[in-house]
Amino acid sequence: MSVFVLLQTLKTDSFSRAAMKTVFVTVGTTSFDELIESVTSPETVQALKARGYERLVLQVGRGSLLPAADSCPHVRLQAYRFKDSIAEDIKQADLVISHAGAGSCLEALGAGKFLLVVVNDKLMNNHQLEMARQLHMDSHLLYCTCSTLTQTLRTMDLSVLQPFLPGQPKNFANFLDKALGVQ
Amino acid sequence: MAVLEGAVFAILLTCLLFIIRLYIVVKTGPNYKPGTKGPVAVLVVAGSGGHTTEILRLMESLSAAYSPRHYVIADTDTMSEEKICTFESSKQRLDSESQFTICRIPRSREVHQSWGSSVLSTLDALRYSLPLVFRLRPDMVLCNGPGTCVPLCVAGLLLGILGMKKVLLVYVESICRVQTLSLTGKILYPISDYFFVQWSSLRDKYPKSIFLGRIV
Nearest chain B residue to A128, by CA: B176
Which positions in chain A touch B167 (Cβ < 8 Å)? none
pLDDT above 50 for A1: no
B97 domain-assigned: yes
Q: Output the pLDDT for position A16.
A: 54
The domain that holds B113 is classified in CATH as 3.40.50.2000
C-alpha–C-alpha distance, residues A165 and B214, integer Å: 9
Q: Do B35 and A133 touch (CB under 8 A)?
A: no
List of chain A residues whose C-beta atoms are within 8 Å of the C-beta of residue B138 = none
d(C-alpha B118, C-alpha B114), whole Å: 6
Tell me if B15 is assigned to some domain. Answer: no
- For residues A64 and A30, give the distance between their C-alpha atoms in angstroms, rounded to a whole number: 11
More confidently predicted of B149 and B123: B149
Residue A167 makes CB contacts below 8 A (sequence gap 6+) with B57, B175, B198, B213, B214, B215, B216
Is B98 contained in some domain?
Answer: yes
* Contact: A130, B177; criterion CB under 8 Å: yes
Asked if residue B48 has pLDDT above 50, the reply is yes
Among A119-133, A151-165, B119-133, which is the least confidently predicted range?
A119-133
Point out the residue among A106, A130, A171 whose CB comes nearest to the CB of B215. Answer: A171
Look at chain B and report how many structural domains it folds into.
1
Strands B140-143 and B100-105, how do they pair? unpaired
Q: A72, exposed or middle or buried, with CB in 10 Å at 0-12, 13-18, 19+?
A: buried
Question: CA angle, corner B157, sides to B148 and B141, nearest 5?
Answer: 55
Domain membership of residue B150 (yes or no) is yes
Q: pLDDT tens-digit profile of B202-211?
A: 999 999 999 9
- The verdict on a CB contact (< 8 Å) between A172 and B212 is yes
Residue B178 located in a structural domain = yes
Residue B21 lies in a domain: no
Q: Which tens digit of pLDDT belongs to each residue from B13-35?
A: 999 988 888 888 888 888 889 98
Average pLDDT, chain B: 86
Amino acid letter, B24: I
Torsion of CA B199, B205, B207, B213, to 10 degrees: 10
Would residue B3 count as lying in a domain? no
d(CA A137, CA A131): 10
For A78, the 3-state DSSP assignment is strand
Domain enclosing residue B69, as ranges? 32-211
Of the listed ranges A94-98, B171-175, B208-212, the one predicted with least confidence: B171-175
Size of interface A-B (CB pairs under 8 A): 101
Greatest mean pLDDT among A86-95, B22-31, B118-127, B141-150 lies in A86-95
Q: Which residue would you say has higher pLDDT here, A36 or B106?
A: A36
Torsion angles phi and psi, residue A62, rounded to 5: -90, 10
Which chain B residues contact residue A180 at CB under 8 A? 33-35, 40, 139-140, 168
Nearest to B30 among A127, A167, A179 (CB): A179
Which residue did the predictor score with more confidence, B94 or B122? B122
The complex scores an ipTM of 0.88
- Which residues touch B94 (CB under 8 Å, ≥6 apart)? B64
Closest Cα to residue B68, out of B98, B96, B44, B28? B98
Taking residues A30-46, report their average pLDDT.
94
Residue A110: is it exposed, middle or buried by C-beta count within 10 angstroms (0-12/13-18/19+)?
Answer: middle
Residues of A in contact with B50 (CB under 8 A): 28, 101-103
B75 lies in some domain: yes
Give the residue-averaged pLDDT of A29-55.
94
- Other C-beta atoms lying within 10 Å of the C-beta of residue A69: 9
Note the pLDDT of residue A18.
58
Residues of A in contact with B199 (CB under 8 A): 134
Using a pLDDT cut of 70, give the percent of chain A over it.
Answer: 87
Chain centroid to CA B166: how far?
A: 13
Q: For chain A, which domains are there?
A: 20-180 (3.40.50.2000)
The tens digit of pLDDT for each residue in B65-106 reads: 998 999 998 877 777 888 888 888 887 656 656 688 998 887
